[in-house]
Amino acid sequence: MDRETANLDEREASLSKILIVEDNEMLQEILSERLGFRGFDVVIARDGERALAITPQEKPDLILMDMSLPILDGWETTRRLKANPDTQHIPIIALTAHSLSGDREKSLAAGCDDYEAKPVNFARLLKKMSTFLKG
Ligand code: MN
């Protein structure tokens, strides 16, 4: 990455708070480390119920949503966030394990703004995130 691009990313990131909703601790750690390193302010929720509880207070600029979650899954969590006038404007990128099983369509139907299949390609994910964080 050239210097100009790096600076641009940094400026963008310094303004942005990202909520990671993920129950897999390894992925939680990898994502929060990599986003934190780039200057993002990172908040973590390990299940859907927790995500619903903290989103109105934390007011994240974007949510990365695992779909397979304990207590309340990502599909239902997304539906509820998108049904709430206080949180429906927050972009949600779905993270799901199966790229070929119709999860993309299901994610968009649940109200997700975009979709990224696991294993997460970090560069591609950042690019998707930046389209929502620029405006
Ligand atoms: Mn999961």
Residues 86, 100: Cα–Cα separation, whole Å = 33
pLDDT at 75: 95
Token reading at 17 = 């708070």
Note whether 53 and 80 are within 8 A (CB): no
- 68 Cα to the center of ligand 1, angstroms: 4
47 Cα: distance to centroid of ligand 1 (angstroms):
9
> Can you point out the beta strands (E) in 54-133?
62-66, 92-96, 114-117
On whether the CB atoms of residues 25 and 42 are closer than 8 A, the answer is no
Class of domain 10-133: alpha beta
Of the candidates 34, 32, 12, the one whose C-alpha atom is nearest the C-alpha of residue 22 is 32
Query: Among all chains, which residue has been given the structure tokens 């990365």?
Result: 64
d(CA 110, CA 2): 37
Mean of pLDDT values over 65-93: 97
Residue 22 CA, ligand 1 centroid: distance in Å: 6
Model pTM?
0.88
pLDDT tens profile 103-127: 888 889 999 999 999 989 999 999 9
Task: Give the pLDDT band (50/70/90) at residue 1.
Answer: very low
Q: Which of 21-35, 73-87, 92-106 has the lowest mean pLDDT?
A: 92-106
Contact 111, 79 (CB under 8 A): yes
pLDDT confidence of residue 11: 54
CA 3 to centroid of ligand 1, rounded, Å? 35
Per cent of the chain over pLDDT 90 is 76
* 58 pLDDT higher than 90: yes
Region 29-51 average pLDDT:
96
User: To the nearest whole number, what is the mean pLDDT of the chain?
Assistant: 89
